[in-house]
A and B are shown apart, each in its own frame.
Chain A
Amino acid sequence: MDGTSIGWLALPLAILGGAIRVSTPFIFVSIGELITEKSGRINLGLEGTLMLGAMAGYAISYLSGSPWLGVLSAGLAGMAFGLLHGLLCSVKRVNDTAIGISLIVLGTGLAFFLGKPLIEPKAPPLPSIALGFWSSVPRMRAALDVNALFFVGIALAFVVYVFLNRTGWGLMLRTVGDSEDAARALGFPVLRVRIVATMAGGILAGIGGSFLSLSYPGSWSEGLSSGQGIMAVALVIFARWRSINALGASLLFGGAGALGPALQGIGVTGYYYLFNAAPYILTLAIMVASTSRAAPFADAPGELKLHR
């Protein structure tokens, strides 16, 4: 290998690198949304929570010098927003979709307002783990320069799987999400479960945001989020409300996102608008292919107001 051009080999490598670099915020936000939806609520406000988390993470990392403290505060900011959503939706006849949309506006507005002085300063970024140390090819090393949050995200998918399917609390959460009447009959605190589930979703979305500002692309700016929070909602449906699937969907989405630039990089210069849209086309295609016409929301939690 001559080190300057590896030709077509660059494509799978770019997709692999892209999957690792781009997927992390999707993993966090989609698993967070999954927990919320499993409780029977949908929080569309995660886009705003993501921006707020990105801003808070960057701010605290800059002020304290510790990026991990930044991640923590991003999670806390997200939790506060989750709590807000959870509480507002607990009021009778309040629509969770509408509240979610207003929280997008509030979250991004607040993030822009408070984040104004943060565009210029340089916050310490999250360190990454150089897993490509064994290779002498610089692009291999760069592709395998992996942030620790990526592994946290993978672990999270399995932890959430075990939590939902093997623990009493997980059963309670699923019951609340599937049938409010059954949950009440069993004496479960329905509202409390939903509020906690929305808070958990908020924490994860906030952390996902801090990955954007502290790792990749790695700085705070107002254009930082380009719909990652909203895409996560689609990813959850796509993943049929299963956390391991959500992990896979996020990786697929991240890898597909790298396709557009990577193809132009190796000299396939035409159709870049089409290739840039690859993740969305892919999601749409798989959703169409995987959705059963007879029971389109067979896997959806019963209380989720998606299909009413």
Chain B
Amino acid sequence: MTLKPVDRRSVLQMLAAAGSAPFVLKSTVARAETPLTVGVLYSGSKQDYGFNQSHAQAAAALKKLPGIKVIEEERVPETIAAQRSMEGMIRQDGAQLILATSFGYFKPHVLEMAAKYPDVTFAHTGGVWTAGMPENIGTLYAYIFEAQYISGIVAGHMTKSKKLGLVAAKPTPNLLRSINALAIGARSVDPAIEVQVIFTGDWVLPVREAEATNTLVDQGADVIAAQVDSPKVVIETAEKRGVMSCGYHSSQADVAPNGYLTGAEWNWITPYLVYAGSVRGGKKPEHYLRSGLGDHFVKNSPFGKLVTPEARAAAETARADLIGGTRVIYSGPLKDNKGNVVIPAGVMQSSNDRALDGINYLVEGIIGQV
């Protein structure tokens, strides 16, 4: 039995030797003529009505472009399996760009693969590149909270009970940033609005998510928003209970044809194209690529049929103001829900302010605790 890994390793080495000769040629001589092969890894199912689906939609858009070949692998665990998957894409399919879409792929898997294959570009969602890491790694993320802010404005216009409910996974900084943005948006419409948040404690827990949605509706919330990995259950349950809903990650409009208002969606195709472009141009990838509504990194789902003209108009105005920079979501004076001032008057933390990266509070008007 001890011979087996040795055998496999030598086979892999042979394969690598055979595979790298044309690969070197490809990367130096025939770059423009050969199609660009892009490998995409997902941690879950491509059709999860959530995070993975938002990436799969971008990959599908990428596939339609001329001269680009996309290979995908779903349900790749955030373990050594991720390295095997990336290695397979590079060696067997000749992938020149790897899109690692799940947070846990970064350390150490992307880092190790990037060091091993310096000619391949790695783009990772959510990681942060720091000096000393391989130069062929790019990290990307998008300011989804800007889209949540727009959802908050729509929800604020639509609520009659002045109470919004939010089912969230865990109080991580990125989630808190979005939860707050939704509340700030809603309360910009009417400061009497309260947002009640329920943390389920994990990324995917369908039964508890449904239970949380029911509880929020029982408590009088008439708009339910979701911040879990696969918001289908939340949106479906809200629809069943006859209340309105705001989606997350990708559009859930078709599971809630009546109550779906809008939702915060990622638009990953934009950053993907940036990295595809840098591979084509033979350039180093951008190490820290982040943006929001302005650069179409995020978007909102098309408005549902219930959304009133005033709500639509207010959302459009807010979007234009955010893009134009005349409106900043996190601007003082801003209090947390314990009454402490977290951003003093006159201070504005714009979307790319790194001070927001470690956010650990819920703003005034949110019922909930970190």
A258 and B218 contact, Cβ closer than 8 Å, known pairs A122-B255, A222-B44: no
Interface residues of B in 239-259 (CB under 8 A from A): 240-241, 254-255
Complex: A222 Cα to B232 Cα, angstroms: 12
- Shortest CB distance A2–B (Å): 9
State which of B163, B211, B233, B368 has its C-beta within 8 Å of the C-beta of A4: B163
**Residues of the A chain whose Cβ atoms lie less than 8 Å from the Cβ of B211:** 18, 21-22, 257-258, 261-262
B153 proximal to A (CB < 8 A): no
Q: Are B163 and A261 in contact (CB under 8 A)?
A: no
Q: Which candidate, B199-207, B277-285, B293-301, is the interface stretch facing chain A?
A: B199-207
A153 proximal to B (CB < 8 A): no
B340 proximal to A (CB < 8 A): no
Residue in B75, B215, B232 with the greatest tally of chain A CB atoms within 10 Å: B215
Given A218-B240, A257-B207, A260-B201, 20 other A-B contacts at CB below 8 A? Answer: A4-B220, A14-B218, A17-B214, A22-B211, A138-B217, A139-B218, A142-B218, A216-B207, A216-B210, A217-B210, A217-B236, A219-B232, A219-B233, A221-B232, A226-B206, A261-B208, A261-B212, A264-B196, A273-B201, A276-B208
**Residues of the B chain whose Cβ atoms lie less than 8 Å from the Cβ of A258:** 211, 215
A224 proximal to B (CB < 8 A): yes
Complex: A42 Cα to B327 Cα, angstroms: 63
B-binding residues in A (CB < 8 A): 3-5, 10, 13-14, 17-18, 21-22, 112, 116, 119-120, 122, 138-139, 142-143, 212, 216-219, 221-224, 226, 257-258, 260-262, 264-267, 269-270, 272-273, 276
Q: Are B220 and A14 in contact (CB under 8 A)?
A: no
Interface size class of B (residues with CB under 8 A): 35 or more
**Residues of the A chain whose Cβ atoms lie less than 8 Å from the Cβ of B199:** 264, 272
A267 and B367 contact, Cβ closer than 8 Å, known pairs A217-B207, A217-B236: yes
**Residues of the B chain whose Cβ atoms lie less than 8 Å from the Cβ of A143:** 218
B237 proximal to A (CB < 8 A): yes
State which of A119, A212, A265 has its C-beta within 8 Å of the C-beta of B198: A265
Interface residues of B in 80-123 (CB under 8 A from A): none
B265 proximal to A (CB < 8 A): no
- Shortest CB distance B201–A (Å): 5
* A273: nearest chain-B partner, CB-CB: B201
Complex: A219 Cα to B234 Cα, angstroms: 11
- Shortest CB distance A117–B (Å): 8
**Top 3 A-B residue pairs of the complex, sorted by shortest distance between their CB atoms:** A265-B215, A223-B204, A269-B369
**Residues of the B chain whose Cβ atoms lie less than 8 Å from the Cβ of A138:** 217
Complex: A18 Cα to B213 Cα, angstroms: 12
**Residues of the A chain whose Cβ atoms lie less than 8 Å from the Cβ of B367:** 267, 269
- Shortest CB distance A198–B (Å): 26
B161 proximal to A (CB < 8 A): yes
A-binding residues in B (CB < 8 A): 44-45, 47-49, 75, 161, 163, 196-201, 204-212, 214-220, 229-230, 232-233, 236-237, 240-241, 254-255, 367-369
**Residues of the B chain whose Cβ atoms lie less than 8 Å from the Cβ of A216:** 207, 210
Query: 7 A-B contacts, Cβ less than 8 Å apart?
Result: A13-B218, A22-B207, A142-B241, A217-B207, A217-B210, A221-B233, A223-B230
**Residues of the B chain whose Cβ atoms lie less than 8 Å from the Cβ of A218:** 210, 233, 236-237, 240
Residue in B200, B206, B241 with the greatest tally of chain A CB atoms within 10 Å: B206
**Residues of the B chain whose Cβ atoms lie less than 8 Å from the Cβ of A272:** 198-199, 201, 369
What number of residue pairs across chains A and B have CB atoms under 8 A from each other? Answer: 128
Q: Are B48 and A262 in contact (CB under 8 A)?
A: no
Q: Are A119 and B47 in contact (CB under 8 A)?
A: yes
Complex: A116 Cα to B49 Cα, angstroms: 13
State which of A120, A122, A266 has its C-beta within 8 Å of the C-beta of B219: A266
Complex: A22 Cα to B237 Cα, angstroms: 14
**Residues of the A chain whose Cβ atoms lie less than 8 Å from the Cβ of B215:** 10, 14, 258, 261-262, 264-265
**Residues of the B chain whose Cβ atoms lie less than 8 Å from the Cβ of A14:** 214-215, 218
**Residues of the A chain whose Cβ atoms lie less than 8 Å from the Cβ of B49:** 119-120, 221
A264 and B198 contact, Cβ closer than 8 Å, known pairs A21-B211, A22-B207, A276-B208: yes
**Residues of the A chain whose Cβ atoms lie less than 8 Å from the Cβ of B208:** 226, 257, 260-261, 276
Q: Are B217 and A142 in contact (CB under 8 A)?
A: yes
Complex: A138 Cα to B219 Cα, angstroms: 10
Complex: A17 Cα to B230 Cα, angstroms: 24
Complex: A78 Cα to B163 Cα, angstroms: 43
**Residues of the A chain whose Cβ atoms lie less than 8 Å from the Cβ of B236:** 217-219
Q: Are A226 and B207 in contact (CB under 8 A)?
A: yes
**Residues of the B chain whose Cβ atoms lie less than 8 Å from the Cβ of A276:** 200-201, 208
Residue in A112, A122, A224, A264 with the greatest tally of chain B CB atoms within 10 Å: A264
**Residues of the A chain whose Cβ atoms lie less than 8 Å from the Cβ of B214:** 14, 17, 21, 142, 261
